[in-house]
Copies of this chain bind each other. A is one copy, B any other.
């Protein structure tokens, strides 16, 4: 899931969609890559559950999927708490010379 956002182009697309739904052509218009490339990226993002599409005539309107975004936030929130706990423990138990 985070792998999908690892690619800069894909992240840009995701951020574009964050500002509001867009068609494929509109997205491609704001990017330095061809339209098929955008299509491929959208497929990855869709498979990752980060965006969703709705058909409007011949156009496909893409938008960020709140579920996916929430999942990511949840992941980092959990991670944050875990890291905090680790910090607290590290503060108490001074690091050993040899584990």
- Contact A18 to B79, CB < 8 A, known contacts A5-B6, A66-B87: yes
Count copies of this chain in the complex: 2
Contact indicator B99/A26 (Cβ below 8 Å): yes
Within 8 A of B (CB), among A46-66: 56-57, 61, 63-64, 66
Using C-beta atoms within 8 Å of the partner chain, give the interface range for chain A: 35 or more
Give the docked Cα–Cα distance between A19 and B90 (Å): 10
Contact indicator B20/A89 (Cβ below 8 Å): yes
Q: Is the interface of A mostly helix, strand, loop or mixed?
A: helix
- Contact A69 to B73, CB < 8 A, known contacts A6-B6, A19-B86, A90-B21: no
Where the two chains meet, the residues of A that have a C-beta atom closer than 8 Å to any C-beta of B are 2-3, 5-8, 11, 15, 18-21, 23, 26, 56-57, 61, 63-64, 66, 69-70, 72-73, 76-77, 79-80, 82-84, 86-87, 89-90, 95, 97, 99
Q: Rank and list the top 5 A-B pairs by shortest CB-CB distance, nearest first.
A: A6-B6, A20-B86, A73-B76, A18-B83, A64-B83
